[in-house]
Structure 1
């Protein structure tokens, strides 16, 4: 954020008219040092340190202020961003000249006097620039979604630019991975060329779940596809090979249409379909894995997952991630598949139980049922990862089962399946 003369005032004891006319040169110089730190280092940018004037009451509380400090010694507050709120430090700062404050012109002398600023710590004066550089940062969120956004903002604000094609290919691939993201949601797009319409496979436009629910996973950076031919080929390859192919609807894998077209159009060019993720609704998992438990027995659901994840259909599939939806997300009615939405978990304080309907199974039990029915379709996959809203006990149970089977010891759950089918309506 650029500094202006209006951003600081001369002193706390001056009149309002004086403050409007005379900038606080010392405050301008301090903020210039902090601005340089924000531009030079990502940590400084995230910390977002700024200096501001102390109120007269707080300035009188600085016990270390002595007459020998000089008449230009002034109290300021250095604010720093924390994960929640701000950290404020009250410090005493002066020019290292015993006389009046040196002239500070923010345009002409922005670097001339920063070396003359001193701050008092532990009873002694030292260079302000040295003190602020040695001060540890309190907020270091550089990973995940927040970290990516901070890096984007930092690069956009500090004026650092480079030619993408001047970078080695290895670094360009790292940029593509961050721009595309960890997930792509492949889709079939209808296109018309020369009066002939057909569906083609695309890398998708982010997550759009059932009922139009928009997830926080955004679309990949399609701008990379428009830079030039080389970047288009490299970024497309990264998207299909380095990202997880995620499906947000139980209809996406249905009848193998999408996956079959990926195999036909994409697989000859790229080594894809090795890492798949499912982000279905709870009802989506019930229908996809064919869960045959009350109150869905009357629907006579058949598992489509066995065909989709078979070794014949996906011979190179090495990892499957199953993301469990939150019980507080409104789902389609799991009993009658009607258009109304309601919370499937009875633990949700907003859940409404209609008269004459059986109670809903709790989220923990329902997830365990889903994985029990899914086991036969996915157990041959080398790496299976359960994530999202799943109880620790349920996750540990199934992680142990899949680990045992990888070691060559088969775990038979056929008795569990028969027991689930036999649960009477009244016991729900």
Structure 2
């Protein structure tokens, strides 16, 4: 009647006449528009300028079926969050007499309009009563969408049909949290966390805190020596190694506001924060300060999961590698020895920093830098060197993960070596077929002649 689909999509994309034309495949909504046709002067207005409105009919106070439908919708809004999101409203579409209570002149169906809050045009729905109905309930009301084009359809129980309207899209992540908060607020509901078992409550508190714990050691005037605290929003944060990464993509700092809820939540929240969470350290210096602090949370088994973020230069320093200007092992004990003193450590993740930060280059500040060392030396080789000398300090840890700026082949190789070394730690043979000690010796011998010439 109006022309082809391409014509309407091009000329009447957001105009009312185009929005009505797109209802040609939805007879139920088109029927509602036919009962309340818009003024001809509004047909070429966009959705921002004018939205179609159904004509308001006088209320029917004696329509008990409409009251049951509204009550059923209100109950489902309280029971189902995704149904509440629809924002369904119902009103009578015609002035025909109500079906209940029954009259001498009985009508078989009555039309109602069901309007979702995000849809401009409501559905025209026929409601009727089940055969032999003696009591008006949601189970005895049968509904079907108006569709004269395909002939009559069998009726469906009201509650079943309403639940068919539920769509679970966009209900995860932040959108799901916002939806749940709005649903609770509309029904005056709250989350009864204190009625849950302690184990589940602890896991919920751990999620509320964010899971990113950055311990720090600070001086306390009331005691002698540094004290280990849960990290705040500043301090031990792994941001210096990735300045090119925008703040929005960095880990969120922990939020400890929940600890002020009550004494019980404070105690359980501290336990949830210290136990079962990964402790992040921006470099080896932060780890050293925390481990050497005389006052630590000894009541908790807190150092089980550690994430250590290291630039290439810090990685060399942490595992006892010195540049002078070639590789050498100074006589000092490296900071990595601290890892061997953590008896509870089960999981260690080493995150290698970006190679494109100038100060991550171990030769960057060296006064007599060899000409063969470019501004950005081969990052893959430097990571390989670091792991060769890190092997003695990592082989006792059950699970070691390598992440950040590391080649996949290097990551797979060393994670296999370390896991195999730990699994066969009590055996005299190792199936990975690699000797890191010999590799380290040969690497130092290879660079020794260059060292003599300097």
Q: Do the aligned partners of 2:86 and 2:166 also contact (CA within 8 Å) in 1?
A: no
Q: Which residue among 155, 172, 178 is the counterpart of 2:180?
A: 155
Give the 3 Å change call, closer, same or farther, for CA 319–251 of structure 1 in structure 2.
same
Deviations 1:129-186 (A, max 9, x none): 85674479675784xxxx3x34532332212303433333233112112112333110
Deviations 1:362-385 (A, max 9, x none): 333333222222111111112212
Give the 3 Å change call, closer, same or farther, for CA 241–76 of structure 1 in structure 2.
closer
Is the partner of 2:284 in helix, strand or coil?
A: coil
TM-score for the superposition, normalised by structure 1: 0.61
Matched with 1:413 is: 436
Structure 1 segment 128-139 matched on structure 2, within 5 A: 133-134=163-164, 139=169
Deviation at 1:76, TM superposition (A): 10
Give the 3 Å change call, closer, same or farther, for CA 139–400 of structure 1 in structure 2.
farther
Structure 1 segment 109-128 matched on structure 2, within 5 A: 118=145, 123=150
TM-score for the superposition, normalised by structure 2: 0.58
Q: Which residue among 256, 271, 285 is the counterpart of 1:237?
A: 271
More deviation, 181-190/198-207: 198-207
Matched with 2:307 is: 277
Deviations 1:232-291 (A, max 9, x none): 11110111111111211232123xx31132x73312x11221222212333322221234
Unpaired runs of 5+ in structure 1? 1-7, 52-69, 80-89, 99-110, 339-354
Deviation at 1:336, TM superposition (A): 4.8
Matched with 1:324 is: 352
Is the partner of 1:242 in helix, strand or coil?
A: coil
Q: Which residue among 353, 367, 392 is the counterpart of 2:408?
A: 392
Root mean square deviation of aligned Cα: 5.1
The answer on 1:304 being equivalent to 2:334 is yes
Deviations 1:17-55 (A, max 9, x none): 9986973489xx9xxx9999898656679xx7799xxxx
Structure 1 distance, partners of 2:326, 2:55, is 74
Deviations 1:100-145 (A, max 9, x none): xxxxxxxxxxx9xx98672769957677985674479675784xxx
Structure 1 distance, partners of 2:351, 2:75, is 43
Structure 2 distance, partners of 1:416, 1:122, is 80
Unpaired runs of 5+ in structure 2? 1-18, 21-31, 57-65, 67-71, 89-109, 129-137, 366-370
The answer on 1:383 being equivalent to 2:399 is yes
Give the 3 Å change call, closer, same or farther, for CA 166–397 of structure 1 in structure 2.
same
Number of aligned pairs? 341
Task: From the CA coordinates, give the structure whose radius of gyration is larger.
Answer: 2
Matched with 1:183 is: 212
The answer on 1:362 being equivalent to 2:385 is no
The answer on 1:265 being equivalent to 2:296 is yes
